[in-house]
Amino acid sequence: MEPLNIERLAEKVLGKIFVPVEASGRHVHVTAEQAKSLFGHGLTPDRPLSQPGQYVAKERVTVVGPKGEFRNVAVLGPERKEAQIEISLTDGRNLGIQPPVRLSGDVKNSPGCTLAGPEGRVVLEQGVICARRHIHLTPEEGRRFGVADKQVVKLQTFTARPVVFEDVVVRINPEFSAAVHLDYDEANACGFQKGDWGRIIP
Amino acid sequence: MEPLNIERLAEKVLGKIFVPVEASGRHVHVTAEQAKSLFGHGLTPDRPLSQPGQYVAKERVTVVGPKGEFRNVAVLGPERKEAQIEISLTDGRNLGIQPPVRLSGDVKNSPGCTLAGPEGRVVLEQGVICARRHIHLTPEEGRRFGVADKQVVKLQTFTARPVVFEDVVVRINPEFSAAVHLDYDEANACGFQKGDWGRIIP
């Protein structure tokens, strides 16, 4: 039996009622072939993310748009079937790209950009999106919060600049771990700090 | 009698029920003395803002922080009794400054920065804030919406990424014109486009 840690117990109870909020910075997903072109080899895991199996790679890229570029952008692994560049609307202004607000994986007819790595460049015809805000839940958590996969809910943030985000999509998968994913525009708009919680309003 | 313009009539009616939303980019207020140091003369009006008497000046400055700078930043007139630099939390990350979220005018013990103009530099001990979201109303509009000066309300945005902003401060003054003022983090978080409306929830 582990010793009683009051703080950990309190967090555990909170997690039964609320959902942890996370802010996702701009990042890139690439295919195995694109990783080879950019880095000369596949992605190397650096540190794990909250969603099981997902990781930040040691490799970094430059994202190039018509009006600007971002250096040292995180690449998330493992490799995917299709490239996806997730940026905020603020990032889009700086790059000169207007990304549609979409769920991850829905890149059809989105704008492209160029990725530059130490070993080469990849020109993408499409793939730049602004991630639609969403909540990852396991089926058990979905039942507890009374929400279904693909359901659109509201999320009230307990943050320095409180907000109720409308139009938040629930995504349910046994592989997930409970987390609200906001981009940095949203995180700053609600004054998010690491460790903040949100409440699902079905 | 003016000819009937249906579009204008519809906007006029909407304005009785909702409040126009505006996004404020980063900007600077300076004193007459500081304008002299930066530009060699007082501010020159370029174009008027929605609040009567306020204008964007022809003059522009560079805002310098420990980690970065922004060139070509708008200066708003007329001159004030004290300098104030209004930036978003995203801007703060880029400058290396953590601005408190405050109402305009409340700059006490806020961080400083350096302003650079064509004729000189001004080092500010304080003045950098992130503007707390607020709604400008006339007394008549306040009565119609059922809210008082300094009342904290919610604001539901009719925007591409709908949000209910909590903790929005109402400011009432006969000199004002109805407008919600968001910063660009907030504007992008709710997918704001010019011409969008919001609903006050008292």
Q: Which residues, at least 6 apart from B155, have a Cβ–Cβ distance to it below 8 Å?
A: B19, B133, B135, B164, B165, B168, B180, B198, B199, B200, B201
User: Measured between alpha carbons, how far is A99 from A120 in angstroms, rounded to an integer?
Assistant: 24
Check A101 against B163: CB less than 8 A apart.
no
Structure tokens at A29: 């997903």
ipTM of the complex: 0.78
Distance from CA of A79 to the nearest CA of B (A): 29
Tell whether B159 is within 8 A of chain A (Cβ).
no
The answer to whether A89 contacts chain B (CB < 8 Å) is yes
Q: Kindly report the number of other CB atoms within 10 A of residue B140's CB atom.
A: 11
Question: Least CB-CB distance to A166: which of B88, B164, B166?
Answer: B164
The pTM assigned to this predicted structure is 0.86
Which of B70, B71, B89 is the mutation pick for testing A, counting most A CBs within 10 A?
B89
Find the helix or strand (DSSP H, E) in which A117 lies.
Answer: strand A113-117
* Contact across the interface for B90 and A133, Cβ inside 8 Å: no
Report chain B's terminal Cα–Cα distance, integer Å.
37
Contact predicate B52/B133, CB 8 Å? no
Shortest CB distance from B188 goes to which of A88, A165, A166?
A: A88
List all residues 6 or more positions away from B177 whose beta carbon is below 8 Å from its beta carbon. B50, B51, B52, B136, B138
Give residue-wise pLDDT tens across range B122-134.
999 999 999 999 9
A163·B189 Cβ contact <8 A: yes
pLDDT in tens, chain B (202 residues): 778 888 888 888 888 899 999 999 999 999 999 999 999 999 999 999 988 899 999 999 999 999 999 999 999 999 999 999 999 999 999 999 999 999 999 999 999 999 999 999 999 999 999 999 999 999 999 999 999 999 999 999 999 999 999 999 999 999 999 999 999 999 999 999 999 999 999 9
Q: Do B162 and A161 touch (CB under 8 A)?
A: no
